[in-house]
Structure 1
Amino acid sequence: MSENERLIHASVEDVFAVLTDGWSYASWVVGASRIRDVEANWPQPGFSIHHSVGSWPLLIDDTTTVEAYEPLRLLRLRVRAWPTGEGIVEFEATDTYGECHLVMRERTAKGPAALIPDQVIDPVLHLRNAETLQRLALLAEGRKP
């Protein structure tokens, strides 16, 4: 399992405003190229974002579904990008003196990607997720008055 953490100079509320805006995912999730639809009850468990990953003309259309949601604390997602597979991504937030300490965990769950040993895939996920958290931080910090 890959784990990244970052102190974001914004409130937990501002970070969760970005995390729970399904339409924003293509602007901060590395690899997401577009959002095709966000189900009305997102981010409630069982509801999905319909997204595409990759670059044209090699786009994969799939979904990201909420597995668990605790407002202002936790968001756990099942991310699909078949035929490569599925992963579980979790964001856990803690208020730290008015700023947000955010931990992002990711692991492969199903499919061909799950056959890659952790010691091979985790460094790649770690680098990608560091950039993802950087982009998320910029959006959340930009929300400050």
Structure 2
Amino acid sequence: MSTTSRPVSATPEQVWSVLADGWLYALFVVGAARMRDVDAGWPAVGTRLHHSVGSWPLLIDDTTEVLEVEEGHRLLLLARGWPAGQAHVEIILEPRGTDTMVTIVEQATSGPGALIPKPVQDVQLHVRNIETLRRLAMLVEGRTR
């Protein structure tokens, strides 16, 4: 299980407003190339983001589904990206003074990605999520200026 954290210069509410807008995910999630649709009610349990992964012209259409939500604090997602597989992705927001500590906990749960040895998998996920959190911070902080 890979855990990556980063402070964001914004309130949890400001970070949540970006997470609650499913159309923005392709702007910060590494590997997401475009959004095709967002279910009404996102991010309620059972709603999905319909996205494409990869690089044009080799795009694969897939989905990410909300498994659990604590509004303003936590999302647990089932991210699909076949043929690589699927993963549980937990995003946690914790207030830290005037900032928010954002943590991503990710683990491949099925498919070829889950067969990668755990230490190698964790390093790959951590490196990807460092960039995901950097992009998220820039997006949130840019909107709050």
4+ long deviations beyond 3 Å: none
Partner of 1:34: 34
- Matched residue of 1:143: which SS? helix
Shift of residue 98, structure 1, vs aligned partner: 2.2
Alignment of 1:48-67 (within 5 A): 48-67=48-67
Partner of 2:83: 83
Partner of 1:93: 93
Shift of residue 20, structure 1, vs aligned partner: 1.2
Shift of residue 17, structure 1, vs aligned partner: 0.8
Amino acid at match of 2:113: A
Shift of residue 143, structure 1, vs aligned partner: 2.0
Give unpaired runs (5+ residues) of structure 2: none
What root-mean-square deviation, in Å, do the aligned CA atoms of Structure 1 and Structure 2 show?
0.8
Tell me how far apart the structure 1 counterparts of residues 117 and 69 of structure 2 sit (CA, whole Å).
29
After TM superposition, the score normalised by the length of structure 2 is 0.97
Shift of residue 46, structure 1, vs aligned partner: 0.5
Amino acid at match of 1:4: T
Shift of residue 60, structure 1, vs aligned partner: 0.8
- Matched residue of 1:84: which SS? coil
Partner of 1:25: 25
- Matched residue of 1:76: which SS? strand
Tell me how far apart the structure 1 counterparts of residues 97 and 120 of structure 2 sit (CA, whole Å).
36
Amino acid at match of 2:65: T
CA displacement, residues 43-75 of structure 1 (integer Å, 9 cap, x when unaligned): 001010000000111111000000111111101
Partner of 1:119: 119
Tell me how far apart the structure 2 counterparts of residues 75 and 98 of structure 1 sit (CA, whole Å).
21
Give unpaired runs (5+ residues) of structure 1: none
Deviates more, 1:92-101 or 1:42-51: 92-101
Partner of 2:107: 107
Tell me how far apart the structure 1 counterparts of residues 4 and 20 of structure 2 sit (CA, whole Å).
19
Tell me how far apart the structure 2 counterparts of residues 64 and 106 of structure 1 sit (CA, whole Å).
13
Tell me how far apart the structure 1 counterparts of residues 84 and 127 of structure 2 sit (CA, whole Å).
19
Amino acid at match of 2:95: D
Shift of residue 99, structure 1, vs aligned partner: 1.1
- Matched residue of 2:30: which SS? coil
After TM superposition, the score normalised by the length of structure 1 is 0.97
Percent identity, aligned pairs only? 50
The alignment of Structure 1 onto Structure 2 pairs a total of residues equal to 145
